[in-house]
Amino acid sequence: MVPKGMVDHLLLLIGALLVMNTQFHCEGNDKVDVTILESAVSKGAVCLDGSPPAYQYAKGFGDGAKNWMVYLEGGGWCDSKSDCLKRANEALGSSKKITPNYFGGILSQSRTTNLDFYNWNRVMVRYCDGSSFTGDVEEIDQETNLHRRGARVFNAIVEDLLAKGMKNASNVMLVGNSAGGLATILNCDHFRALVPSASKLKCIADSGFFIRAKDLPGAEERESYYARVVEFHNITRFLPKSCTSKMDPGLCFFPENLVGDIQTPLFLLNSAFDKFQITYKLKPHPADEPQWQNCIQNIGVCSPGQLQIIRDFRTAFLETLQDIGNCSSRGMFINSCYIHDFLWSTARWNGNGSPRLGNKTIAQAIGDWYFERSFVQEIDTKNDYPLNCTDS
């Protein structure tokens, strides 16, 4: 005889399971709750404002149940106390301010959108440290409570995911866009070491290939900016010795100076006309500023001289890629869209907004590379004008 209370309890449980089941199988339901990782606080793994770090987790199902995708959110960096304090009051610096991000593109659980990965365990790690998940300063600012602990945040979250099942994963992937793409490059081998039992583990950096372009306008600012980020967040010891033994640590924040040493298979997805880099990192002579603003907002009105600077950026980008050397496990999809960030947008990932190279959308290219269905090193060497890749 089963007590009535227990029957109710069981019915509730079955009901909950049914709800979960529909939730995980319903196409287009890409809302995923935020998990606040309170237990990280005791490890000193916290956001800029000292709040616990956070992630969004969509559980894998079907034949994806043992596969894990860890996605690192992007959002620039902060390079000083005042700059980081501003972020400490926003979602990019405090889990208190976080609202759920939509799971589109490579994170989507729609089979049509995301055939290769839709049923994986998909985790979006929220970015709240301003250092591409690499900072580690013991000292807490007494006056403002500012914390600089990006590397600890990464470790604490990975540790938690390992316990949630990633420890037994077969296929694993570290992914990220923009500052999260750079974080993916910087953390790739480290992540491999944290998940040693995975049978396949690869990294995919979207729009994270920020170039130094030392002969183009703004080089000094690009260099000094990363030098300040590295200094402020105590990143030097995080960076590979193979790089820091050769040059200033600040320069080792430019992927071109370290991807050659990465052992784990890495995919670089980027536009050679990266809109963020052209807009914010490529500054011609200040006297030209207002016209330059018009030009970067609407390529059609650029003067021939301005367009030349933008073309020079592409040339420098492609040359930089050449210089990092080749390796057969590296994947590449270097397109010419005037766009920054591709992976989280469903249209750019696999829809009309996706550039095609070798007749493949980004989703097809990355799926083929990950599962080794084909060799993928696609570089658009033809278009020397930024393409208008619209999302519809």
Ligand X SMILES: *[C@@H]1O[C@H](CO)[C@@H](O)[C@H](O)[C@H]1NC(C)=O
Question: What is the set of active-site residues?
Answer: 178, 274, 340
Return the residue matching tokens 């589109």: 104
308: CB partners within 8 A, 6+ apart: none
Point out which span in 12-20, 69-77, 222-230, 293-301 binds ligand X (CB under 6 A): 293-301
Our CB check for ligand X shows the closer of 30 and 159 to be 159
CB nearer to ligand X: pick between 270 and 377: 377
Q: Is 345 in the site for ligand X (CB under 6 A)?
A: no
Could you give the string, one character per residue 91-130, with x where binding to ligand X holds by CB under 6 A and - elsewhere? Answer: ----------------------------------------
Among positions 32-71, residues that touch ligand X (CB under 6 A) are none
DSSP at 52: P
Closest-by-Cβ residue to ligand X is: 237
Q: Which is nearer to ligand X, 23 or 236 (CB)?
A: 236
Nearer to ligand X, 26 or 301 (CB): 301
Residue 343 backbone phi and psi in degrees, to 5? -65, -35
CA angle 281–283–285, rounded 5-degree value: 165
Supply the minimum distance, in Å, between the C-beta of residue 338 and ligand X. 7
Q: What is the largest CA-CA distance in the chain?
A: 86
The answer to whether 137 and 148 have CB atoms below 8 angstroms apart is yes
Shortest spacing between CB 377 and ligand X, in angstroms: 5
**Pick from 138, 143, 215, 220: which binds ligand X (CB under 6 A)?**
138
From the list 200, 252, 206, 245, the residue with the least C-alpha distance to 226 is 252
> Is 158 near ligand X (CB under 6 A)?
no
Stretch that binds ligand X, among 23-31, 161-169, 247-255, 265-273 (CB under 6 A): 161-169
21/381 with CB nearer ligand X: 381
The least distance separating ligand X from the CB of residue 241, rounded to whole angstroms, comes to 12
Q: Does 350 bind ligand X (CB under 6 A)?
A: no
Phi and psi angles of residue 281, each rounded to the nearest 5 degrees, phi first = -115, -10
Taking CB under 6 A as the criterion, the residue among 119, 234, 335, 350 binding ligand X is 234
315 versus 390: smaller Cβ distance to ligand X: 390
Residue 314, burial from CB neighbour count under 10 angstroms (0-12, 13-18, 19+): buried
Q: Is 74 helix (H, G, I), strand (E, B) or coil?
A: coil
Is the Cβ–Cβ distance between 135 and 239 less than 8 Å? no
Cβ proximity to ligand X: between 206 and 378 the closer is: 378
**Smallest distance from ligand X to CB 154, Å:** 12
208 vs 274: CA distance, rounded Å:
10
234: left (phi over 0), alpha (psi -120 to 50) or beta: left
- Give the total of residues touching ligand X (CB under 6 A): 20
Write out the binding residues for ligand X, residues 295-334 only, by CB under 6 A: 298-300, 326, 328
Select from 136, 274, 341, 378 the one that contacts ligand X (CB under 6 A).
136
Which of 66, 97, 167, 275 binds ligand X (CB under 6 A)? It is: 167
Phi, psi of 203 (to 5 degrees): -120, 140
Q: Which helix or strand (DSSP H or E) is residue 241 part of?
A: helix 241-244
Quick one: tokens of 16?
């909950």
Member of 37, 48, 125, 137 binding ligand X (CB under 6 A) = 137
**Binder among 168, 224, 242, 263 for ligand X (CB under 6 A):** 168
Query: Which of these ranges, 109-117, 219-227, 234-242, 340-348, lies near ligand X under the rule CB under 6 A?
Result: 234-242
For 271, the 3-state DSSP assignment is strand
Instruction: Map the footprint of ligand X across residues 362-381, applying CB under 6 A.
Output: 377
CA 51 to CA 43: how far, in whole Å?
12
Question: Where does this chain touch ligand X (CB under 6 A) — which range of 133-141, 179-187, 288-296, 310-318?
Answer: 133-141
Element (H, E) at 32: none
Binding to ligand X by residue 237, rule CB under 6 A? Answer: yes
CA distance 347 to 13: 37
What torsion do the CA atoms of 35, 36, 39, 41 make, to the nearest 10 degrees?
Answer: 150
C-alpha to C-alpha distances, 38 to 66, 93, 166, nearest whole angstrom: 25, 16, 19
Binding site residues, ligand X, CB under 6 A:
136-139, 163, 165, 167-168, 234, 237-238, 298-300, 326, 328, 359, 377, 388, 390
